[in-house]
Structure formats: structure tokens, C-alpha cells
Amino acid sequence: MSGPYQQRGHVLKLFAAALGLIALLILFYQPRWALRRLGGRSSGILWFVETDRAVMALTIDDGPNPAGTPAILDVLARHHAKATFFLLAGNIRGHEDLVHRLVAEGHEIGNHMIRDEPSRRLDRDEFERQFLEADEALRPFVATASRVGQVDAERPPSTRWFRPVSGFTNPPMMEVIGRHGATCVLGSLYPYDPHIPSPHYAALQIRANVRAGEIVILHDGTQRGPRTARTLEWVLPELGRKGFRLVTLSELWNARAKQTID
């Protein structure tokens, strides 16, 4: 009797190992069919853009930070790349010069709330209060960008893009975002840089997933920001050799072949 049971146990172990391998491959390659399935459950989220142009949007969360933001901006300037910075409004005080610099250098600003705490834990009213407080803090810098022609002059001086902290949404949150005219952006190429503190790994995953219309997610901060700068130093030359450019979300959106908000 032990023989069949042993064989069955062996088969189950092989099956579990195969499922684990498939899950790892999905997490590494982040295929668009998987994102579309997620998008079907979360209406109104921008994951990627369908385009035939060789562009990818770079998004950077959690700035501004004096240890990370200048290093990131220096790398982007050397390689003529642009990014959308999802800023924590609570980090701006004392670092206004960094926000002015990134706007002056042609980068874009997105709303990433006030503090680094999961947005979905907030009830509707508190989420809306913090969303609007963050938007108000960012408004003067967005107004500056509009005066130099970096955003649509017909839009009010407000942030167009929003990303929740922790990357999870819920229906009340999405209702508030939509009512205030913002678009929720998650993204399609995430090298888990808060969890895997290796710029080598992040660069490997980004280089393995170079596709038109991807939205790359990286992070700023005292430790994460310098790692992001190193990641970009290794990634940007490779993208250039492949004919790709890293651009802002607005530029990527303008390059779309069709609407891709599910």
C-alpha cells in the first residue's frame, strides 16, 4: 500500500513545484494577460499603454528625498530620460528646491498622498481629505510646470496622476479619485525594489521586460533612492541601445494606440 501513496505524494510535490515555478515566472515577467485579469476587477486603473512607439514611462515613488532625488535626477539628465515622480506631500517641506528642480528639468509630478502608509486602510472621508491635502501641497509646483508648458494648459493646476501608497485600491478610493478628475496609475513593470534591495536584480528584471508602453515602478528615499539611481545607470544605456526612451506618464499616454484604462 505504501507504493501508490508514495507515488501520489511525489506527484503532488512535483505539481506544487511546477505551480511555484509558474508563479515565480509570472512575478518576474508580469505578463499583460495577468494585469488585464487584475484590471478586470479594478476598473479605472492604468497599468500600461498600448503603443507602437519605443517608449516606456518611468515612475518613481516616495520623494522628494535629499539622499535619493538629486542622484536620480543626475542620472536622468545624463541619459536624457524623463520620469513622473509620485511625491509624498509630507516630504516636501524643507525640500522644495528638489521639487522645483525636477519640474524645471522636465519631469512630472503625481499625487502619492501625504505619508507612507497604506491608502486602502483609510475610510472614504479620511482618504478624500488626505488626497486633497496632498493635491493642494503639490498644486504650486504643478502650476509652475503649466507655465513652462509641461502640462496641458487647459487643465487646472492640479495633479493628473495618482498612485495609492502600497499599490492597492478599493471602490470608495476609486470613486474619490475619479470624482476629482485624477487617474489611478499602478504600473506593469515592478522589480520589487522595496523588498529586494539589489539594484542588480532590479536592472535585470527591467532589462528582461523591455516592451513598448510599460510603466516602470521604482522608489526614492534615503536608501532606496541611491539604489534606484544605480539601477537606472545600468538600465538606461541598454534601453538606448534597443532604441527605447523613458518618458513621463503624460508623454506615454499621448503615444497610446488605444485607450488602456480597463
Per-residue pLDDT reduced to its tens digit, 159-192: 899 999 999 999 999 999 999 999 999 999 999 9
Tell me what pLDDT residue 27 has.
77
Do the beta carbons of residue 54 and residue 252 sit within 8 Å? no
Do the beta carbons of residue 238 and residue 246 sit within 8 Å? no
Tell me what pLDDT residue 151 has.
54
Ranges of residues in the chain with a pLDDT under 70 are: 1-3, 5-6, 10, 38-43, 146-158, 258-262
- Label the pairing between strands 183-185 and 161-162: parallel
Tell me what pLDDT residue 158 has.
67
Please state, in angstroms and rounded to a whole number, the distance separating the CA atoms of residues 152 and 52: 23
Do the beta carbons of residue 169 and residue 184 sit within 8 Å? yes
Tell me what pLDDT residue 261 has.
47
| DSSP label at residue 78 | H
Do the beta carbons of residue 120 and residue 170 sit within 8 Å? yes
Please state, in angstroms and rounded to a whole number, the distance separating the CA atoms of residues 14 and 18: 6
Three-class SS state of 163: coil
Tell me what pLDDT residue 154 has.
47
CA 43 vs. chain centroid, Å, equals: 18
Please state, in angstroms and rounded to a whole number, the distance separating the CA atoms of residues 66 and 221: 8
Closest CA to 59 of 178, 175, 173, 160: 160
Count of other CB atoms within 10 angstroms of residue 50:
13
Tell me what pLDDT residue 253 has.
95
